[in-house]
């Protein structure tokens, strides 16, 4: 059997299974799903004048714990990113949570190389390269294709690692963990802005680190000192296309 023939057979089988599900059972399942929370975390990225410039959206779920997420594998991270993208761009009231700003979403390898789709919203979506992503030729090619489509790219937790340096020619934003600035300081900041990227100080937790970041010429800031992440429930927002 040819690949096209197999796909056709599977499609017919899937349609037959769908048709066999009783209407009452389907309705009960839809009602169950409709009442489940669809959670995401939102944290602002602010200018030095205290105005929101963008928002970072991250995965949340009932009972979710960050320490558990640290042990996730690639598939877990992919599912988490899919959840965030569906909960934001897959809902009809995007502006209710975006307020006209850019939205940063951390994306693993599969989204960068095209194995998993990203929403066709390069005007709003900033793809943040996951810090655990190996920056090889397929990833760089995927990022080039995404930028050709108009997407912006962000590099988080920049510490001048070789993989991170390979991303700099393609980066629109570079995030610097201000907790490392006492050790790294000016040299890392200089490398981070060497290709013209806009710098963002992340993990701003104290007035001291905020002042230090400003002294280094960083103009955008993210962290609990400025705004703690809110958890939003998107279950009540209508799905796009319905």
Q: Show Cβ contacts of residue 2 under 8 Å, excluding neighbours closer than 6 positions.
A: none
- The two structure tokens encoding residue 160: 């001048």
pLDDT tens digit at each of 242 positions of the chain? 554 555 556 556 656 666 676 766 555 444 444 446 789 999 999 999 999 999 999 998 876 666 566 677 889 899 999 999 999 999 988 998 999 999 999 999 999 999 999 999 999 999 999 988 999 999 999 999 999 999 999 999 998 899 999 999 999 999 999 887 776 678 889 999 999 999 999 999 999 999 999 999 999 999 999 999 999 988 888 887 65
Q: How many CA atoms lie within 13 A of 173 on its CB side?
A: 28
Alpha carbon distance 155, 78 (integer Å): 18
Strand extents, DSSP E, the chain? 39-47, 52-59, 102-107, 125-129, 152-155, 173-177, 198-202, 220-221, 230-233
Q: Cα–Cα distance between 37 and 62 in angstroms, integer?
A: 8
DSSP 8-state class, residue 169 = G
User: The pTM is what?
Assistant: 0.83
Looking at residue 85, its pLDDT comes to: 95
Give the bridge partners for 174, in sequence order: 155, 199
Q: Report the run of H or E that residue 192 belongs to, with start and end.
A: helix 186-192
């Amino acid at each position: 059997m040819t690949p096209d023939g197999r796909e056709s057979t599977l499609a017919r089988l899937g349609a037959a299974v769908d048709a066999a599900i009783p209407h009452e059972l389907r309705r009960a399942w839809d009602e169950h799903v409709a009442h489940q929370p669809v959670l995401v975390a939102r944290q602002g990225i602010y200018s030095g004048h205290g105005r929101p410039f963008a928002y970072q959206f991250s995965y949340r779920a009932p009972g979710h714990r960050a320490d558990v997420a640290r042990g996730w594998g690639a598939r877990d991270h992919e599912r988490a990113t899919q959840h965030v993208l569906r909960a934001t761009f897959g809902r009809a009231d995007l502006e209710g949570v975006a307020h006209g700003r850019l939205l940063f979403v951390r994306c693993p390898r599969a989204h960068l190389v095209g194995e998993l789709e990203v929403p066709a919203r390069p005007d709003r979506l900033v793809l943040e390269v996951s810090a655990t992503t190996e920056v090889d030729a397929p990833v760089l090619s995927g990022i080039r294709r995404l930028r050709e489509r108009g997407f912006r790219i962000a590099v988080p937790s920049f510490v001048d690692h070789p993989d991170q340096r390979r991303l700099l020619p393609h980066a629109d934003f570079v995030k610097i963990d201000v907790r490392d600035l006492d050790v790294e300081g000016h040299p890392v900041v200089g490398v981070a802005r060497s290709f013209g990227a806009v710098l963002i100080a992340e993990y701003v937790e104290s007035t001291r680190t905020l002042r230090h970041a400003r002294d280094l010429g960083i103009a955008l800031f993210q962290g609990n000192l400025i705004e703690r992440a809110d958890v939003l429930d998107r279950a009540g927002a209508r799905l796009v296309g319905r």
